[in-house]
Structure 1
């Protein structure tokens, strides 16, 4: 996830562009850059946050009424000045900013290199200006060259493109990455999100997938991929600037939950890269996950998956405890480290220990972070910046990476096919948010919560309980359903809320029996299960999945309901879910 801005104004553009791009720094803060057009492309960029880069190279001190800018959340290539956007062609006549992932960039780059193009970065984006250059040198005019380029791209993109030859024009395009148009009396804008332009205008056009836009100071033309013009509605935005930064949501946590369908799509785009990593694996006789907190729960699901799909002995170790297990490592062990930030101190220490004897793989959300530079192999989760302290979309993206890894190791094409349908299913899930809000009203004053599940869904119970503890300050415990009779059942009594995870599958019958034991002791049940399950009709609070989600995939969707349940209980208790007390987003001390 990155942020882009472009504008054509009746005045110098750079000061407005930099103020606009600051409003999108929540979308990326690895690097920043700006390009404007006069009689040439004027370019300034650097790695780091906007404030620091601006203090060093004065981003607003650049002429031209037409310009584009970018804040980066690194995907391809570590955060450096060279990898910062905008990117140019060989002759520096074309400049591009991009949000998204070009999945076939390596293939395109190899072709362009053979044709003599010179690349200056490690990014996927840089193929775009070179393709446009190629087509313009073949005689195509600017717009047609952009059209030809877009038709060759596979993946997601929101683009803003300028050319030295047409200084009063920006060409934009969108596919699977957000892009909006802002209309003002003093010029027109392109941006990734409303916050960037709200100070300049409240008139917005939302672009759809596979649309191209030509923007000048006094005109906007929106077209399909065949350059047929389209009529679009103009929306009036009534948000405050703070609301706009959160996309109209009350909190970043809720916004990030609603981003999960897109995060699933983006993370699934790593499938080919993961398959390439797997193809280079040697034969392992043991796999070990190392993680903390929410990433630990994702790792537990990985353990279930690997042992059921691959029959390789697997264990999960808390990063803070890893040094006590180091003597068990050897060169036939794969150690997998999972971390959102890539900077967790305990995990970094464990990685350095593991590298002495074993092969290492990191699953990380932040490109260029310390762990990505240390591990033998790296998989990126493509969740983008997560502002809320409680992990939501980053957890789901970690799970997607784990499922892809196991599916490729097992050569399980059926599982890969099922994963491809998850984004659409998660979108359907979010339509029942009001039902979850109503259920949460009953439990504002609860002192204790219990979550139970079996097999793949036991770690989901742990993660659901953790979300509740983090942002509601209600005591929550997750248990393996079969463990209830070994002690925890003594805590179940009237009005204690219990969340039961009951997907169809081999564990259903035994889990249902455990739920019956709980109900008979007067607990309040919240059931997550299948719409086809007639046995749970007598339970009032139930969240039913349709189409039916089987046991192995349930962790990827059931968790969304549990995140929303915790969120709404937090709101009812008057707690800010984005900033829970005593917690930080990244734990960089041991």
Structure 2
């Protein structure tokens, strides 16, 4: 969500800025823009794609050696050009639509006290050209500017309440860009030639430009100039941050033979699971010390021995992976587990337990609600923290003591697929590690589980071969406006995930229920125009599930069933069955979710929606 790129160089940096925005398009946005210094402030903005912005830049011959660029996901103000970033300041008493003032700024996050700041600045004579909270920051810095932009930014930041990552430059000080972060990610890229330096919200934006990255910490302010930079911490004391070599390959974003990134990522799941499990020879707690985050005396083994419960914090698809993990953790490891929606947890009164293992799940490691929930749990005295995350350099990994890094690779499609299944793989390993630490996993059980996990890539490949059958279902679903998804036990969260995928990218209203709840309300919605997708593994609840299916058929509903081969559920009038290749026991959710991903994808294709960039959604949700 929202991308920032900034640069100071001796060469024209507009191509670098725009290319950086293109590499961040996958995060989701509804407007974009670029501003440079060229004998004053100049910019181009668009509510279309970055490709259209590039055409504007070329037509206007926009160029400069200092500049900033942005992709915006609208929060304050509609996605129209005058709300697009970058924003310019306008001096007191000047017309906000007149020529720009001296400050240019881009911003990720939300400024919660923007109304009060706007009123204060209007009283000082500042005019506003947008409805955004961002323009307030530009005017505030302008009002504090006295010849040194770094000082003006430092004075402005304590007045901002909320989350932000900003990049700002001033026409009176060419070759200088100031960055700051609090609650939203920002990195510094150290250039390799000509003394140039960069800012970005994601290292991928700088792929091919530099691999020398400094991850700014919470509260940092950075002064970026030609051939030099310096950083101060939240107390405004000078500090050194480690320069890391980060290989953010842009090649990961190539579509290859696929029609959309989502389709590519669905078919990458066998490889992603294999990569995530690479090097796992046995179940040991040390698997969760891979990042070296643990402190002396606080390694995974001691933590796993000491804790008596698990609290999982996550949002969206990651939350559903946590719901699956609850079944595993309680049935295999015998550890009481609670799963909380991160955005709700931090705002309710809860009963903290210092012996709880707090587990966060996030693809990006920058999800604002999940980071805030983690910090809230820590503030309550729950110090045992672990994350399942796809980005080893993210804020979440840095803030948790233990981590398991999934290896899904870059996920471009907004609707998560391979990130979800690799999260499940990491969570199953966590379940086994906790079970072992507590003496609840025999050698025979460990061997059987490891064998099943190693077979997952082949099993997933067999499920992907069902795509032609799923396409025939999608042709039916494309004509519908509503759908129900049913599951029982650890497949209920898979039904939830299937419904989420369908609504995200096809815009069909979809809901999921535990199948036993059907008769307690949702059955009233069932008609021939309401397809009912049923996840039907051959487990202890199969016969109960069959009874729920009969309730649907008795009301004229049409069933679409994902059935294990030995369930004895056959296709008939009003019942469409896709037979799964094999029963996979505890790991069955990883297989059953794949046809649901394909169903959503092919239904969206049939309806002609923007599969990879669904309306109103963003990939990395870095605002509350």
TM-score (norm 2): 0.57
Which residue of structure 2 aligns with residue 140 of structure 1? none
Are 2:518 and 1:484 aligned? yes
Deviation of residue 586 (structure 1)? 1.1
2:269 to 260, 269, 273: 260
Answer yes or no: is 1:567 the counterpart of 2:601: yes
Contact 1:297 1:463 in 2 (8 A): yes
Equivalent runs, 1:115-134 vs 2, <5 Å: none
Tell me which residue corresponds to 1:317: 340
Of 324, 333, 342 in structure 2, the residue corresponding to residue 301 of structure 1 is 324
| 1:493 aligned onto 2:527 | yes
The equivalent position to 1:577 in structure 2, one of 611, 621, 624, is 611
Is the counterpart of residue 332 in structure 1 residue 355 in structure 2?
A: yes
What is the CA distance between 1:28 and its match in structure 2?
A: 12
User: 1:408 maps to what in 2?
Assistant: 433
Any conservation in 1 of the 2:26–2:414 contact (CA below 8 Å)? no
Contact 1:502 1:508 in 2 (8 A): yes
TM-superposed deviation, 1:564: 0.4
User: In the alignment, which residue of structure 2 is the partner of 1:547?
Assistant: 582
Note the 1:120-519 alignment, pairs <5 A.
Answer: 245-269=254-278, 271=280, 275-276=285-286, 277=288, 278-281=300-303, 282-325=305-348, 327-356=350-379, 357-358=381-382, 359-411=384-436, 412-413=445-446, 414-519=448-553
Q: Take 1:441 and 1:28, find their aligned partners in 2: how far apart are those partners? A: 27
Shift of 1:123: 8.4
Distance 1:386 1:124 in 2: 17
Unaligned runs of 5+ in 2: 1-15, 28-185, 198-202, 216-241, 289-299, 437-444
Q: Distance between the aligned counterparts of 1:455 and 1:297, measured in 2?
A: 13
Compared with structure 1, are the counterparts of its residues 557 and 524 closer, same or farther at alpha carbon in structure 2 (3 Å cutoff)? Answer: same
TM-score (norm 1): 0.60
CA contact (8 A) 1:365 1:380 kept: yes
**Aligned equivalents of 1:367, 1:383: Cα separation in 2:** 12
Q: Distance in 1 between matches of 2:194 and 2:395?
A: 24
Q: Deviations over 1:334-359 (max 9, x none)?
A: 11001111111111111112223111
CA contact (8 A) 1:28 1:73 kept: no
Alignment check: 8 A CA contact 2:533 2:559 kept? yes
Q: Please list the CA deviations of residues 502-554 of structure 1 after superposition, one character each: whole Å capped at 9, or x if unmatched.
A: 1001111101110111111111111001122323343652221122333x222
Q: What is the rounded CA distance, in whole Å, between the counterparts of 2:419 and 2:505 in structure 1?
A: 17
Contact 1:467 1:566 in 2 (8 A): yes
Q: Which sections of structure 1, spanning at least 5 residues, go unmatched?
A: 1-17, 30-47, 60-70, 84-119, 126-190, 196-243
The 2-side partners of 1:478 and 1:274 are apart by 36
Deviations for 1:44-103, whole angstroms, at most 9, x for unmatched residues?
xxxx999984786579xxxxxxxxxxx9799xxxx85599xxxxxxxxxxxxxxxxxxxx
Q: Secondary structure at the match of 2:484?
A: strand
Contact 2:569 2:577 in 1 (8 A): no
Q: Contact 1:461/1:478 (CA < 8 Å) preserved in 2? A: yes
